[in-house]
Amino acid sequence: MSETELSTHIEGLLHAMPPVAALQPRLAELADGGCRLQAPLAANINDKGCAFGGSLVSLMTLAGWGLVAAWLERRGIKAEVYVADSQVKYRAPLYDDLDACAQFTDSFVADVVLQELVDKRRASFQVRAEVRRSDGGLATRMESRYVAVVPDQIAAE
Amino acid sequence: MSETELSTHIEGLLHAMPPVAALQPRLAELADGGCRLQAPLAANINDKGCAFGGSLVSLMTLAGWGLVAAWLERRGIKAEVYVADSQVKYRAPLYDDLDACAQFTDSFVADVVLQELVDKRRASFQVRAEVRRSDGGLATRMESRYVAVVPDQIAAE
């Protein structure tokens, strides 16, 4: 799968989920070290005229999911990716369009993860996601753990 | 404001937010000690056929927000309520309609919070929210801190 096909694949998965389509997300960047999703404020606004916290978490969660899913896809690993836990800090209200970037944390070591997938058919990924305001200030930060599971029927193919 | 008017008010605020209306939430219960929001799985489904994590967080965040907002409203306190931080644990996939219950944690002492609002015009509320499966098992748990701020113009009225 080429990088363009991979982006189209990930974006297609996003828009196929009704609650995600409602956020109107756009895959702005998809690289081996980062995934960036954008969404218009108008579709994600709360009663105070700024971004709804649930939309911020959704977009950051999806950016992390896209990061992990694409990383596995590039290595030919067919696995289901789930978010397992998250710590969210809402630091400042966001009055701009939403722009969420997800990256692996420093504790991520590719070789360790690949070995875990071979040995146990599952592995954890630590991801940090952020939404920044147009002035560069931090709006929201999230640290999450994702789990990739290689299903038995896939492993047995 | 009667309890019925309060429920109508809270539900009206929910449906006025586009990203929240997309979840199709229904205010199932609103009491001084708990707030319960339900939403259909179909509107909140992911690519794996279970509830999307972002929808779970959104519904739990809103249940906690409704709990705090109604608690303040009942005491005649006009304040803006924000979520400040959350820890989310996704324990099991949910294949049922979403049902989120939010309650104050044991550390919540009403008199302390009321005094903080008088002294500092702001106070924190610790809230625990859960989504359980139809068999009673835990799907997702979230512990959050909300902050209520009494705006100057309101305080000065």
Q: How far is CA B55 from CA A11, A84, A102, B4, in A?
A: 18, 15, 19, 26
Considering the entire predicted model, what is its pTM? 0.93
Asked if B57 and A58 count as a contact pair (C-beta separation under 8 A), the reply is yes
Q: How far is CA B39 from CA A53, B55, B113, B119, B125, in A?
A: 18, 9, 31, 38, 25
Q: Could you list the residue range(s) of the whole structural domain that residue B110 is in?
A: 3-155
Q: Are the beta carbons of B61 and A54 separated by less than 8 Å?
A: yes
Q: Output the average pLDDT for chain A.
A: 94
B126 vs B117: CA distance, rounded Å: 15
- Number of A to B CB contacts under 8 A, please give it: 115
Q: Are the beta carbons of A85 and B80 separated by less than 8 Å?
A: no
Closest CA to A81 of A129, A29, A124: A124
Q: From chain A, pick out residues whose CB is under 8 angstroms from the CB of B93.
A: 82
- Please tell me the distance in Å from A32's CA to the nearest CA on chain B: 22
User: Which one of A46, A57, A93 has the shortest CB-CB distance to B54?
Assistant: A57
The stretch A9-31 carries a mean pLDDT of: 95
B113 vs B67: CA distance, rounded Å: 14
| B140: Cα within 13 Å, side-chain hemisphere | 33
The pLDDT score that the predictor gives to residue B153 is 58
User: At a CB cut-off of 8 Å and minimum separation 6, what does A36 contact?
Assistant: A27, A28, A29, A30, A63, A99, A100, A101, A102
Closest CA to A136 of A104, A106, A105, A92: A92
Write the pLDDT tens digit of every residue in A60-75: 999 999 999 999 999 9
The pLDDT score that the predictor gives to residue B154 is 52
Residue A26 has pLDDT above 90, yes or no: yes
Q: Are the beta carbons of B85 and A83 separated by less than 8 Å?
A: no
The stretch A39-50 carries a mean pLDDT of: 95
Q: What CATH number should be reported for the domain holding residue A76?
A: 3.10.129.10
B144 vs B125: CA distance, rounded Å: 8
Choosing among B65, B68, B73, B85, which should be mutated to test the A contact, i.e. which has the most A CBs within 10 A? B85
Q: What percent of chain A has a predicted confidence (pLDDT) above 70?
A: 97
Type and span of the H or E element at B102: strand B98-104
On whether any CB of chain A is under 8 Å from the CB of B107, the answer is no
On whether any CB of chain A is under 8 Å from the CB of B129, the answer is no
Number of domains in chain B: 1
- Please tell me the distance in Å from B23's CA to the nearest CA on chain A: 7
Residue B98 has pLDDT above 70, yes or no: yes
